[in-house]
Amino acid sequence: MTIDCRLRSEALVVAQRCLCLALLWLPLLAHGGWESLDHEAMGTRIHAEAWHADPEIARRALAEVQTEMQRIDAAFSPYREDSELSFLNREASKGWTQVSAELIRLLTASQRVSELTEGAFDVTFASAGRYYDYRRGEAPDQATLDSAVEGIDYRHIEIDAARQRVRFKHAATYVDLGGIAKGYAVDRAATIFAAAGIREASVSAGGDTRILGDRRGQPWVVGVQHPRDTKKMAVRLPLSDTAISTSGDYERFFVQDGVRYHHIIDPTSGSSAAGSMSVTILGPSGIFTDALSTSVFVLGAAKGMALINQMPGIDGIIIDAAGNMTYSDELVPPTAAP
């Protein structure tokens, strides 16, 4: 009995010590829920981080985000013969083509931005854009460009949302969603995180980032790359709960006879837009900041900044063709990065 009692009291002491140790570790465990995942999709690097008290929930959400990015890539890549976008490009000049509700939504969102930017954003840019090969350093000759430009006009895309079908009104029209798809993808990631109960997360697909909440009480810090020195940041921005997209002429380009051929196309000419080096847009959704960063780039610094300043909830930073950086009215210039 005595022995049993002593054993029991010893067991109690051990249990108490274990409890104390566990309590000591608790704050550390509470901060241990950050998980991250890197992978490639949509021709770019995807980086995602998420916090949850239960790290397993964060890990599962990150895996779901990866699957979703790959799905979006498979559906809307212009480089895959079997993507829905390639199907649209093959069929829609022949007549009404049945497509997914998701593609209807993306095309409708694109047309809204086209109207807002007076055609600077135009997914039919690809009617000419498809003839550039930035990796091989190839640009179309003038005759090819002249006939290709005929296919560029967002109004050539007719959308019948009720019957979920699309047709192109011009035989040379060709669509590429590269200016909006990554922003859409980071929005989808944000929806996945929110559904999993995650309130603090960040996901970036190349130049498009979506941020949920903050970093456990601290802001997230997002850098805007220096357009002419890839190792440097032009500026660092402390942010929470936002979408941020940067478009730059340094992403995909080649230089020939002193001309910089890059992947952002002025729809009026079918040639690379020359008014800016880099445009960063901040706003509530990635699909919008992505499309806007591309189109403000096309508009050039003066027209582009005027448009940003007239839109509530949208901020921006433009580095113009001469390398001068300007901020939209409501953005307090942060301290320049070293």
- Return the range that interacts with ligand AMP (CB under 6 A); candidates 82-90, 195-203, 290-298, 327-335: 290-298
Q: Are 297 and 265 in contact (CB under 8 A)?
A: no
First to last CA, the chain: 73
By beta-carbon proximity to ligand AMP, the closer residue of 209 and 293 is 293
By beta-carbon proximity to ligand AMP, the closer residue of 122 and 200 is 122
| Binding-site member from 49, 73, 122, 249 for ligand AMP (CB under 6 A) | 122
Measure the CA–CA gap between 158 and 291, rounded to whole angstroms.
20
> Under the criterion CB under 5 A, does residue 93 sit at the interface with Mg ion?
no
| Binding-site member from 42, 265, 317, 319 for ligand AMP (CB under 6 A) | 265
Measure the CA–CA gap between 232 and 272, rounded to whole angstroms.
24
Q: Are 260 and 272 in contact (CB under 8 A)?
A: yes
Q: Show contacts with Mg ion in window 261-320 (CB under 5 A).
A: 290, 293-294
> Under the criterion CB under 6 A, does residue 247 sit at the interface with ligand AMP?
yes
Which residues are CB-neighbours of 139 under 8 A, at least 6 positions away? 131, 132, 256, 261
Which residues are CB-neighbours of 245 under 8 A, at least 6 positions away? 182, 183, 207, 208, 209, 280, 281, 286, 289, 290, 292, 293
By beta-carbon proximity to Mg ion, the closer residue of 97 and 245 is 245
Alpha-carbon Rg for the chain, nearest whole angstrom, is 25
> Under the criterion CB under 6 A, does residue 304 sit at the interface with ligand AMP?
no
> Under the criterion CB under 6 A, does residue 227 sit at the interface with ligand AMP?
no
By beta-carbon proximity to ligand AMP, the closer residue of 33 and 119 is 119
Residues β-bridged to residue 97: 166
| Binding-site member from 33, 140, 151, 207 for ligand AMP (CB under 6 A) | 207
| Binding-site member from 89, 127, 293, 328 for ligand AMP (CB under 6 A) | 293
CB of 197 to Mg ion, least distance (A): 30
> Under the criterion CB under 5 A, does residue 242 sit at the interface with Mg ion?
no
> Under the criterion CB under 6 A, does residue 125 sit at the interface with ligand AMP?
yes
Q: Which strand (E) or helix (H) includes residue 307? A: helix 301-310
User: Out of Mg ion, ligand AMP, none, which partner does residue 298 contact, by CB within 5 to 8 A per kind?
Assistant: ligand AMP
CA distance to 98, 104, 115, 156, 330, per residue, from 162 (Å)? 11, 10, 21, 18, 40
By beta-carbon proximity to ligand AMP, the closer residue of 226 and 263 is 263
User: Out of ligand AMP, Mg ion, none, which partner does residue 264 contact, by CB within 5 to 8 A per kind?
Assistant: ligand AMP
Measure the CA–CA gap between 89 and 264, rounded to whole angstroms.
20
Chain centroid to Cα 64, Å, comes to: 17
Positions that interact with ligand AMP (CB under 6 A)? 121-123, 125, 129, 176, 178-179, 207, 247, 251, 263-265, 267, 290, 293-294, 298
